[in-house]
Amino acid sequence: MAQTGRPTQLFRNMSAKIAAIPMVLTALVVFVGATLWTVYHSFTKSKLLPNSKLVGLDQYERLWSQNRWLISIENLAIYGICSMIFSLVIGFLLAAMLDQKIRFENTFRSIFLYPFALSFIVTGLVWQWILNPEFGIQKIIRSLGFEEFVFDPLYNPDIVIYGVLIAGLWQGTGLIMCLMLAGLRGIDEDIWKAARVDGIPMWKTYVFIIIPMMRAVFITTLVIIASGIVKVYDLVVAQTSGGPGIASEVPAKYVYDYMFKNQNLGQGFAASTMMLLSVLVIVIPWAYLEFKGERSRG
Amino acid sequence: MKLKTLAAALMLTAGIPLAAQATDLEVTHWWTSGGEAAAVAEFAKAFNDGGDKWVDGAIAGSGGVARPIIISRIIGGDPMGATQLNHGRQAEELVEAGLMLDLTEIAEAEGWRDLVNPVRLLDGCTVDGKIYCVPVNIHSPQWLWLSHEAYEKAGVAVPANWDEFVASAPKLREAGIVPLAMGQQSWQTQLAFDTMMVAVGGIDLYKSILSDKDAKAAASAEATAVFEAYAAARSLSEGSNVQDWNQATNMVITAKAGGQIMGDWAQGEFQVANQVAGEDYTCLPGLGVNEVIATGGDAFYFPKNDDPEITAAQKRMASQMISKEVQVAFNLKKGSLPIRGDVDLTAANDCMKKGLKILADGNILPDGVNVQSADTQGQIQDLMVEFWNSTDITAADAQKRYVAIIEDAD
């Protein structure tokens, strides 16, 4: 590393570097360029078409005074935290159970992974029907004799976001399970044997030995779950379209509605800039810790 | 046998040059409910009869879903041949950016300004003295639709105005009928609010809030009364868990609900269900209190195209849509009022006649869609749908937030 000053360094692996140029350009122009363009225009009074009439922080002031935006943020927080915890816990438990050398493992794995093959739109519609009080779960339980049974999350503003969460978990947990299973399979058999010889109970082996060894798998999983959370949009649109009222709105839907439906690009850009900011607030400290950790270990 | 093939071959060769003149035009619109689809088929028929080809580009959902798709296609450089939009503010910026075809030439040749009634509809199409769209119908949102069967079941007379409707609600509840059907989409709750503003608050209040954007009027005691009536209506709609407006109309048709506040496009649904105005259902313009209607409506815009053939076909379509025969055929199916005063509408039913009379008397109002920007409308819709679905917001809170929106309105 000390000899980076040598000019020949630049021309090493020339063909690989040339091959990477299109991707580098795409990343710079499309991602960075478009991001900067968006941030700049969030300070303007753009309506249906972008313009450059600067208005300072007006769009942001308006954004944070909107009840709908605050509800969106709250919903995203609830959805995010719950889906992070539950998909990790359920995914890991399922994987641990499948790892007990059970019969028909392949069949179970397919069943659990199958929902992941469906799009969020289909998932949303299916769960809209399942949770519909007139012909879903409530109807079935009532027809079993429990006449007073009430289960209508999609029609109750207080708990509607949990109805969305159920659908999201159903769709995504299978993938988490598979990742975890791959991680578990990567653990050396000898470690299990050693733990058994020492008489360590199984749950302790998982919590104190196996899970710490699966650090890399957990981090990958967390990144996948987190990126899914921030962009949650289609599930809400298909399942509740933000309703009842505005009780299940999410930030991505706010951005879309303002940019295209309400013809107010400036406001939509301000909201999307806030989304970007919240992602950066999480990602930068994490990336810093992660890469710093790598170096000190190496 | 030989003769026949020869004739067929001749026809074929003769047909080819004809077909070359015919132009395909893709038309996007959001008319997808039963009555609406029947009406739009009349446009397509007339256009196809003229030798061109109508390529239907219906977008399901509602204006809120379709409009972004339509606008992004125009901005993105993939314009359709023609598209439905509500005239007024929605297309303003597109026209200013030079993306729409200027129709002034045909409009002047055919004298649109003289035949369009009320002429305000044409003003909605006019930007800087040039005409950019064809108004095709007059729609008014201020109607209350009542099911005779539901009131029969409940054993009360069909109400003649909003107050009677509210008074009869407990009886309907007893009979297991939801008094007021309401779809949960935000534009529907806003429509109900604007309508109640005319009925409860009066015409002056409506005009000063919508047209003049007067925040003081929005904070006045009259407006408070509107919000209170609106809160009362909220409790009347408990139990109507439908989304789309036509599902709510269907509750009225099947007597599951007593009434619905909805625009006159609901009429198309009653017609498709073979219901007769005055016998199976009653309509009350202005909720039976203030018999006025707002003259909103739909219009067709023609995005600019480089191909002169398409431009010619667009102009053909434009003049066809405004012609007498097409206006009558279309509006009878749609349940809306024609935009010209000189057509014969003896076939019109009870409700349409009520509308025509109000129109002839000149009791008309501007429509919110035409005077408020999409941004302001969107904010009001968010507020109304939130209010409608969460009983912890009081009428006073909602009014306070409404005043703030009107203050910033543009």
pLDDT averaged per 10 residues in sequence order, chain B, 410 residues? 52 44 86 87 91 90 83 89 83 86 91 85 86 89 92 91 92 92 88 90 87 88 92 89 87 93 88 88 89 84 90 91 90 85 77 85 75 85 89 90 87
* Contact (Cβ atoms closer than 8 angstroms) between residue A183 and residue A217: yes
- Partners of B75 on chain A (C-beta within 8 Å) are 49
Task: Say yes or no: A51 contacts chain B, CB-CB below 8 A.
Answer: no
Give the span between the Cα atoms of A48 and A64, in whole angstroms: 21
| CATH number of the domain encompassing residue A291 | 1.10.3720.10
pLDDT digits (tens, 9 = 90+) for A41-86: 999 988 888 888 888 888 999 999 888 999 999 999 999 999 999 9
Residues of chain B within CATH 3.40.190.10 domain(s) are 25-139+295-362, 143-294+372-408
Domain co-membership, A5 together with A88 = no
- Partners of A260 on chain B (C-beta within 8 Å) are 67-68, 71-72
Sign of CA dihedral B72, B75, B80, B84: positive
Q: Is residue A54 part of a domain?
A: no
What range does the domain containing A28 cover?
Answer: 1-41
- Give the single-character DSSP code of B242: B
Q: Is the pLDDT of residue A285 over 90?
A: no
B378 and A261 in contact by Cβ < 8 A? yes
In chain B, which residue's Cα lies nearest the Cα of A50?
B93
- In this predicted structure, what is the pLDDT of residue A33? 92
Taking phi first (over 0 means left), then psi (-120 to 50 degrees means alpha), and beta for anything else, what does residue A258 get?
Answer: alpha
Q: Which fold has domain B25-139+295-362?
A: D-Maltodextrin-Binding Protein; domain 2 (3.40.190)
Q: Quote the tokens at residue A2.
A: 């000390």
B241 and A260 in contact by Cβ < 8 A? no
Q: Is residue A53 part of a domain?
A: no
* Contact (Cβ atoms closer than 8 angstroms) between residue B268 and residue B35: yes
Task: Say yes or no: A21 contacts chain B, CB-CB below 8 A.
Answer: no
B67 and A67 in contact by Cβ < 8 A? no
* Contact (Cβ atoms closer than 8 angstroms) between residue B403 and residue B219: yes
Q: Quote the tokens at residue A35.
A: 């991001």
Q: Quote the tokens at residue A264.
A: 């107010």
3-class secondary-structure state, position B215: helix
pLDDT digits (tens, 9 = 90+) for A75-107: 999 999 999 999 999 999 999 999 888 888 889
Between A241, A256, A262, which is nearest B374 by CB?
Answer: A262
A133 and B241 in contact by Cβ < 8 A? yes
- In this predicted structure, what is the pLDDT of residue A1? 45
- At the fourth CATH level, the homologous superfamily of domain B143-294+372-408 is Periplasmic binding protein-like II (3.40.190.10)
Give the span between the Cα atoms of B166 and B229, in whole angstroms: 10
Give the span between the Cα atoms of B27 and B325, in whole angstroms: 20
Domain co-membership, A114 together with A226 = yes
Compute chain B's Rg from CA coordinates.
23
Task: Say yes or no: A70 contacts chain B, CB-CB below 8 A.
Answer: no
Task: Say yes or no: A161 contacts chain B, CB-CB below 8 A.
Answer: no
* Contact (Cβ atoms closer than 8 angstroms) between residue B121 and residue B339: yes
* Contact (Cβ atoms closer than 8 angstroms) between residue B264 and residue B255: no
Domain co-membership, A91 together with A206 = yes
Task: Provide long-range contacts, Cβ within 8 A and 24+ apart, for A274-278.
Answer: A274/A60, A274/A63, A275/A230, A275/A251, A276/A35, A276/A39, A278/A230
- The strand pairing partners of B257, in sequence order, are B178
Q: Is residue A49 part of a domain?
A: no
Q: Which residue has the tokens 């506040």?
A: B261
- In this predicted structure, what is the pLDDT of residue A244? 84
Domain co-membership, A136 together with A105 = yes
Q: How many domains does chain A have?
A: 2
Between A157, A245, A263, which is nearest B374 by CB?
Answer: A263
Q: Which residue has the tokens 């995005």?
A: B303
* Contact (Cβ atoms closer than 8 angstroms) between residue A79 and residue A235: no
Domain co-membership, A81 together with A228 = yes
- Give the single-character DSSP code of B372: S
Give the span between the Cα atoms of B208 and B313, in whole angstroms: 42
Domain co-membership, A29 together with A64 = no
Residue A106's Cβ-side half-sphere holds a number of Cα atoms within 13 Å equal to: 0
Cβ neighbours of residue B293 closer than 8 Å, sequence gap 6 or more: B138, B140, B142, B264, B285, B286, B355, B358, B359, B363, B364, B365
Give the span between the Cα atoms of B67 and B377, in whole angstroms: 14
CA dihedral A88, A92, A94, A95 (to 10 degrees): 140
Question: pLDDT class for A178, splitting at 50, 70, 90?
Answer: very high
Q: Is residue A47 part of a domain?
A: no
Cis peptide before B303 (omega within 30 of 0): no
Which DSSP string corresponds to B98-127? T-B---HHHHHHHTHHHHBSSTHHHHTTEE
Q: What is the mean predicted confidence (pLDDT) over A148-168?
A: 89
B241 and A243 in contact by Cβ < 8 A? no
What rounded mean pLDDT belongs to chain A?
87
Task: Say yes or no: B87 contacts chain A, CB-CB below 8 A.
Answer: no
- Partners of B387 on chain A (C-beta within 8 Å) are 245
Residues of A (230-289) whose Cβ lies below 8 Å from B: 241, 243-247, 256-258, 260-264, 267
Tell me the nearest-neighbour CA distance from B378 into chain A, angstroms.
6
- In this predicted structure, what is the pLDDT of residue B3? 54
Q: How distant, in Å, are the alpha carbons of A94, A177, A222 from that of A184?
A: 11, 10, 16
Give the span between the Cα atoms of B126 and A101, in whole angstroms: 75
- Partners of A68 on chain B (C-beta within 8 Å) are 382, 386
Q: Quote the tokens at residue A14.
A: 């020339």
pLDDT digits (tens, 9 = 90+) for A191-249: 989 998 999 998 888 889 899 998 888 888 988 888 888 888 999 999 988 878 888 99
Structure-model confidence comparison of residues B169 and A147, the more confident one: B169
**Bridge-based pairing state of the strands B281-285 and B298-301:** unpaired
Measure the CA angle with vertex A39, ends B63 and B383; round to 5°: 40
Alpha helices in B124-196 (DSSP H): 148-154, 162-174, 186-196
Q: Quote the tokens at residue B390.
A: 């969460």
Cβ neighbours of residue B4 closer than 8 Å, sequence gap 6 or more: none
Q: Quote the tokens at residue B351.
A: 């409700």
Domain co-membership, A31 together with A116 = no
In chain B, which residue's Cα lies nearest the Cα of A267?
B375
Cβ neighbours of residue B316 closer than 8 Å, sequence gap 6 or more: B47, B50, B52
Domain co-membership, A16 together with A105 = no
Q: Which residue has the tokens 């000053």?
A: A5
Count, residues in chain B: 410
